[in-house]
Amino acid sequence: MGFVSSNNQQHLLSKIATDGGHGENSSYFDGWKAYDSDPYHPTGNPDGVIQMGLAENQLCFDLIEEWVVNNPKASICTAEGAGDFMDTAIFQDYHGLPEFREGVANFMAKVRGDRVRFDPDRIVMSGGATGAHEMLVFCLADPGDAFLVPTPYYPGFDRDLRWRTGVQLVPVPCESSNHFKITGEALEAAFRRAKDANIRVKGLLITNPSNPLGTILGKSTMRDILSFITRNNIHLVLDEIYAATVFSQPRFTSIAEIVEKERGSNSINTDLIHIVYSLSKDLGFPGFRVGIVYSYNDAVTSCARKMSSFGLVSTQTQHLLAAMLSDNDFVGKFIAESGKRLAKRHEDFTKGLAQVGIGSLESNAGLFFWMDLRRLLKEPTPEAELALWKVIVHEVKLNVSPGVSFHCSEPGWFRVCFANMDDDTMRVALRRIRSFVAKRKAMEGPAKRQCWRSNLRINLSFRRKDDIAMMSPHSPLTSPLVRART
């Protein structure tokens, strides 16, 4: 290091190494850096930044730990499990352990209410959903080809789908006037725009449930999407990484259910349909790097399996998960309890914000919600959104993620993650944002304050009236003692 100037590096290294395509310079990652340099700790650093930019499910680790303690044979580093150490350590087949594929297929079915079956022979593993997306793109498209992606979308897609493959992403703008729903017209318009620009569209990528919106696709939207991809003969990649985070009605419908129902009817071409899954969100194991490609296309499954050599899941992890994911008592209890805890966290947070007039998009899934701070913008521009975001990160000390980093076409929306912290940290975060908004409102004139009141009415209209009555004046969320600290 140090001998070669960055200009010289351009000649010495590949385009991938020097073109900045990783996307690390986005505000999404800047927020993480702000957190890393000043992380909140209740006693060690109580004024530090609270991490609310990380979509992690940490609410059920007590259940996981209990299972691990009760199943010592599942680990190869225990007295009970050490007998399997050698066989596990020397296994190197890229198909993966058969019992692991069966466990994953079982878990994927349970997450979808056992309404659908998954064939263990189609389970292809990869390094997280990150690796699964890239692997699929390598199978489906060539450099210069494009995938349509409805906005707002997960910022990592810019890296995962594009960086090393040379594929482009074409945004399909969705808007708040329509609750950010994906419409057939928006898909057709984006497809036409790409065609006019001589870009070959190979597929459509949809995340269901959505990150960052926390919403799920309705049946009619699914139908629109399927008829769009069939008409244009392009692939459909469904990222269902948040399938088990749906915490209230309406229930989640997986694309797998539709495929199973329509199979043989000629209404859809199943060769065009591919699911990306992972254990990073539903189970909360991003560190295990378990990603899955589940394609209904035999050639894609076969090619992806060969490619999976580049990102296999370690057999130690496979061995443990094979036992955990085929334990139906545990899986059933985990999915039910996780849903309950996510629902409560979501409700506590969104209700606490609604009390000070902060709205959010109505949602029933995910580890986050989509917060509406349009009223706090000086003007409706991405620059004004980023200026507000800087205040929230550096002064309010909350690392929420700005809509612009999700390619949202409308400034003023922010993603707030709520499942990666304990209850006490959640209360501190809520207090901080409530007091920030209260101060901002106090600085505004009476006309704008009236606006906040009507905003509050709109946002509460979809919530049950008794929810509000249930907020006790002694609740830690409203306590003056708590408020006095921030």
Ligand X SMILES: Cc1ncc(COP(=O)(O)O)c(C=O)c1O
Residue from 35, 153, 154, 277 carrying the catalytic annotation? 154
Query: Smallest distance, Å, CB 279 to ligand X?
Result: 7
Examine the residue annotation and report whether 281 is marked as an active-site residue of this protein: yes
Examine the residue annotation and report whether 206 is marked as an active-site residue of this protein: no
Residue from 224, 239, 282, 348 carrying the catalytic annotation? 239
Per DSSP, what are the bridge partners of residue 148? 170, 204
Per DSSP, what are the bridge partners of residue 127? 290
Query: Smallest distance, Å, CB 230 to ligand X?
Result: 24
Examine the residue annotation and report whether 239 is marked as an active-site residue of this protein: yes
Query: Which one, 55 or 172, has the nearer CB to ligand X?
Result: 55
Comparing C-alpha atoms, which of 106, 88, 105 is closest to residue 97? 88
385 near 377, Cβ under 8 Å?
yes
Query: Smallest distance, Å, CB 289 to ligand X?
Result: 7
Query: Smallest distance, Å, CB 143 to ligand X?
Result: 22
Query: Which one, 156 or 476, has the nearer CB to ligand X?
Result: 156
Query: Which one, 253 or 278, has the nearer CB to ligand X?
Result: 278
Examine the residue annotation and report whether 154 is marked as an active-site residue of this protein: yes
Cα dihedral 241, 175, 405, 359 in deg (nearest 10)? -90
Query: Which one, 134 or 410, has the nearer CB to ligand X?
Result: 134
- The residue of the chain with the least Cβ separation from ligand X equals 128
Burial class (CB in 10 A: 0-12, 13-18, 19+), 63: middle
Query: Smallest distance, Å, CB 59 to ligand X?
Result: 16
Residue from 50, 123, 241, 255 carrying the catalytic annotation? 241
Query: Which one, 168 or 278, has the nearer CB to ligand X?
Result: 278
Residues that bind ligand X (CB under 6 A): 55, 128-130, 154, 156, 207, 211, 239, 241, 278, 280, 286, 291
Query: Smallest distance, Å, CB 211 to ligand X?
Result: 4
CA separation for the pair 295, 70 (Å, rounded) = 35
Query: Which one, 161 or 358, has the nearer CB to ligand X?
Result: 161
Comparing C-alpha atoms, which of 289, 283, 261, 259 is closest to residue 271? 259
**Residues annotated as catalytic (active site), given as ranges:** 154, 239, 241, 281
